[in-house]
């Protein structure tokens, strides 16, 4: 099927990034959030990110203006019903995602494709709660969306080939690369990345090294662009913990047990950059390790 209109549910960091790249690629975008404040902030952020691309000569001013004109913000979920493709990018909680799809279903066209940007939740299980499991799949963008080139495409057990090929076509139109993953906990990227971050937290917890030493060791010793603790702060420690719990619960292997120190930071509300404190304190002129 030809996809022209894309509905994006959730105007946070991932949602506004998805709206940005979809509009820039020529799709008409309906961006939804329950909060008008979040929608306003998202539109401001998208405009700023597009301006940055113009200043770096990645896109033209005309392309920026055309992309902004293609995005319509709405606080009414039902407005997304006529979309050809819906990308759910709400918070990483299964009950929230199920409620969104439940609310949206009565308003959808029969041919509308449903996708979720979930980083770890079972696509098969999410799809089973809808009226079109064969037209449902995982569409997992990497953060920050305008910069990262990978999209994980995850087929549930009932996803049909036509849906997969349509989503693959969208990824190609965006100028990104698709990695096809089977529907197992955390898929490919987070199945590998999160245990590494969790192990870095254990290394800190056990006193093997401090925050600065661990991050510098991995940046200079393994040529990683960001240290694992710095990266955890960027992702959000609550998100890291949620994915580790999905891995631990879904695979039943003790190697995926979340580090108690990670849980403690989340309990304290030290979630990383978004709360100004995590493994680093971001309230001063430059980040300072908290341990």
pLDDT cut 90: percent of the chain above it:
96
pLDDT at 259: 98
104 falls in which pLDDT band (50, 70, 90)? very high
pTM of the full structure: 0.90
Q: Is the pLDDT of residue 180 over 80?
A: yes
Q: Is the pLDDT of residue 43 over 90?
A: yes
Mean pLDDT of 220-241: 96
Active site residues per annotation: 119, 140, 152, 190
> Which residue in 203, 205, 193 sits closest to 260, CA to CA?
205
First to last CA, the chain: 53
Q: Is the pLDDT of residue 132 over 80?
A: yes
- Residue 37 near residue 11 (C-beta atoms within 8 A): no
Show the CA angle centred on residue 45, arms to residues 36 and 100, nearest 5°. 45
Show the CA angle centred on residue 49, arms to residues 34 and 136, nearest 5°. 50
Mean pLDDT of 181-204: 96
pLDDT at 18: 98
Whole-number Å distance between alpha carbons of 228 and 238: 15
Mean pLDDT of 172-182: 97
Mean pLDDT of 84-100: 95
pLDDT at 210: 97
pLDDT at 120: 85
Give the model confidence (pLDDT) of 135-163 as tens digits: 999 999 999 999 999 999 999 999 999 99
In angstroms, how far is CA 76 from the centroid of its own chain? 22
pLDDT at 91: 87
Give the model confidence (pLDDT) of 263-287 as tens digits: 999 999 999 999 999 999 999 999 9
- Residue 76 near residue 32 (C-beta atoms within 8 A): yes
The tally of CA atoms less than 13 A away on the side-chain side of residue 159 is 29
1 falls in which pLDDT band (50, 70, 90)? confident
Distances (CA, A) of 181 to 98, 185, 231, 252: 22, 10, 23, 20
């Amino acid at each position: 099927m030809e996809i022209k209109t894309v509905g994006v549910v959730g105007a946070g960091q991932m949602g506004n990034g998805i709206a940005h790249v979809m509009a820039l690629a020529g799709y008409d975008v309906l961006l939804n959030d329950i909060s008008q404040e979040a929608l306003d902030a998202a539109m401001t952020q998208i405009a700023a990110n597009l301006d940055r691309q113009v200043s770096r000569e990645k896109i033209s001013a005309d392309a920026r203006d055309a992309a902004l004109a293609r995005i319509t913000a709405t606080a009414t979920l039902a407005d997304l019903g006529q979309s050809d493709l819906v990308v759910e990018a709400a918070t990483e909680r299964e009950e929230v995602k199920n409620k969104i799809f439940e609310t949206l279903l009565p308003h959808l066209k029969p041919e509308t494709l449903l996708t979720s940007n979930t980083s770890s939740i079972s696509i098969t299980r999410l799809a089973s709660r809808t009226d079109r499991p064969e037209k449902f799949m995982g569409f997992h963008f990497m953060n920050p969306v305008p910069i990262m080139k990978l999209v994980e495409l995850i087929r549930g057990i009932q996803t049909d080939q036509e849906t997969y090929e349509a989503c693959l076509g969208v990824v190609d139109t965006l100028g990104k690369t698709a990695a096809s993953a089977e529907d197992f906990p955390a898929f490919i990227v987070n199945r590998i990345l999160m245990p590494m971050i969790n192990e870095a937290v254990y290394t800190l917890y056990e006193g093997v090294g401090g925050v600065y030493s661990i991050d510098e060791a991995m940046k200079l010793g393994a040529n990683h662009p960001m240290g694992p603790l710095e990266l955890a702060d960027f992702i959000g420690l609550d998100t890291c913990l949620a994915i580790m719990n999905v891995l631990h619960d879904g695979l039943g292997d003790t190697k995926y047990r979340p580090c108690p120190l990670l849980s403690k930071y989340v309990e304290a509300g030290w979630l990383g950059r978004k709360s100004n404190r995590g493994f680093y304190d971001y309230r001063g002129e430059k980040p300072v390790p908290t341990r």
